[in-house]
Amino acid sequence: MKKYFQFEELGTNYRKEFMAGLTTFLAMAYILFVNADLLSATGMDQGAVFTATAIAAAVGSLFMGIIAKYPIALAPGMGLNAFFAFTVVIGYGIPWETALAGVLASGLIFIVLTLSGIREKIINAIPANLKKAVGAGIGLFIAFVGLQSAGIVVGDEATLVVLGDLTSPTVLLAVFGLVTSVILLTFGVKAGIFYGMILTTLAGIIFGLTELNGIVGSVPSVAPTFGQAFLHFGDIFTLEMLVVILTFLFVDFFDTAGTLVAVASQAGLVKDNKLPRAGKALFADSAATVVGATVGTSTTTSYVESTAGVGVGGRSGFTAVVTAGFFLLALFFSPLLSVVTSEVTAPALIIVGVLMASALKDIEWDQFETAVPAFLTIIMMPLTYSIATGIALGFIFYPITMVIKGRAKEIHPIMYGLFIVFVLYFVFLN
């Protein structure tokens, strides 16, 4: 096993890899409860989603560790789970079973594009400013969802939104969780989000806001969600679902590419400015999405929290294997779902939004022809409660502003094709 994972070449050992895998798990364990909470808003069985999340994370991390040999863990992605729940299912009125079929389709397309080599061409066709804008916009969208879940921001007929009731016990619990997590992360605690959730959960129990019915229990059945993506695959062949699938696909593209480079660079695994075994890593990511959709969860993607494990010495794929093992162990802690309420998970959404919004600094705001599409992409995601709408408007305005500026030759033909797709989307669906 040491030889397979190249321990000697990478200067690592079992102890380092185990601690790295545990650290990575703690840094991203919040997804187990956050994902179950978000997707249950669609009517999906919360216990089944919890199990599906753990399975998708475990299998995806195993794929990445064994096939690609990278210390990168996977789990259902933040942002796409909120898009799945609040835009596709609740907003568009699409059944969650059909939405899962869309996730499955995006994963299958991702595999084909990866194996054929077309994926790189698509990523290179999309300008860097728009890629950064998509990430930042999703960050604002997630943060907005978190603020709403916490009750910090509530609806208002006159101004659309206003500040919530800060004297409400549940709102105060969420504020406590946010402040606690921020303090922990500010002090450099790698698993600050997860530890913040634990402290907030304990506070909720102590003050009688939630009731603990146990810690360890049987694994929730995945039967309510298993295989639904295949049963409803025939329902995805509409223009509306095409845009949904493209959104799943593009966001997963950007997330995966960015995470692979970030984690591999920190681990010193980038050679000659190239990522070894990149194709295998991308295949592992896309295959994990197919597995996740099959068992019943939104798009599975690589997690930048893997840098936490790399930071304590993780260098090989064995780190990801260890993380996978902890996700499987987590299956037996489903009783905690009753106390990890939306007020507990909301701070995680807000903080992840802050982290994703850091991409704003890399956008070229001094070039108006690229700044406008980027701004529309970012601002329209939270304002329309739709990641897809933000992407669509950005991809429509980019060719327009670039052509007007006289920079038409810089636009990749794929961008013109996407321009047509998104224009048709607005024409026929609105």
The string of pLDDT tens digits covering residues 245-294 is 988 988 887 778 777 877 887 778 777 666 788 889 889 999 999 999 99
Q: Which range, of 47-51, 316-320, 359-363, averages the lowest pLDDT?
A: 359-363
Residue 118 confidence class, pLDDT cut points 50, 70, 90: confident
Nearest-angstrom CA–CA distance, 36 and 46: 5
Q: Which of 270, 267, 268 is nearest to 278 (CA)?
A: 270
Number of structural domains found in the chain: 1
Asked whether residue 20 is domain-assigned, the answer is yes
Average pLDDT (325-344) is 88
Does some domain include residue 142? yes
Look over the chain and give the mean of its residue pLDDT values, rounded to a whole number: 90
396: nearest Cα among 357, 363, 429, 427: 427
**Bigger pLDDT: 101 vs 391:** 101
Tell me if 278 is assigned to some domain.
yes
pLDDT of residue 270: 72
Q: Given this model, what pLDDT does residue 429 score?
A: 64
More confident residue, 356 or 59: 59
Name the nearest CA neighbour of 236 among 95, 102, 84, 87: 102
The tokens describing 346, both together, are 């909301």
pLDDT > 90? residue 341: no
Residue 314 lies in a domain: yes
So what's the pLDDT on residue 84?
Answer: 95
Q: How many CB atoms sit inside 10 A of residue 384's CB? A: 16
* pLDDT at position 81: 93
Give residue 107's pLDDT.
Answer: 95
Strand residues in 286-417 grouped as ranges (E): 300-302
Average pLDDT over residues 389-394: 90
pLDDT greater than 70 at residue 23: yes
What's the rounded mean pLDDT across residues 327-348? 88
> Is the confidence at residue 104, as pLDDT, over 80?
yes
Least confident among 73-82, 352-361, 392-401: 352-361
Domain assignment of residue 31, yes or no: yes
Please check whether residue 140 lies inside any domain of the structure.
yes
Our CA dihedral for 243, 249, 252, 257, rounded to 10 degrees, sits at -130
Domain that holds residue 29: 7-351
What Å distances lie between residue 62 and 74, 107, 202, 370, CA to CA?
9, 17, 32, 40
Mean pLDDT of 145-156: 91
Cβ-based burial of 208 (10 A; exposed 0-12, middle 13-18, buried ≥19): exposed
365 within some domain = no
pLDDT of res. 37 = 92
pLDDT confidence of 430, banded at 50, 70, 90? low
Q: Model confidence over 219-239: pLDDT tens digits?
A: 999 999 999 999 999 999 998
Is residue 131 one of the residues assigned to a domain? yes
pTM value is 0.82
Mean pLDDT lowest among 30-39, 84-93, 421-430 = 421-430
Average pLDDT over residues 343-366: 88
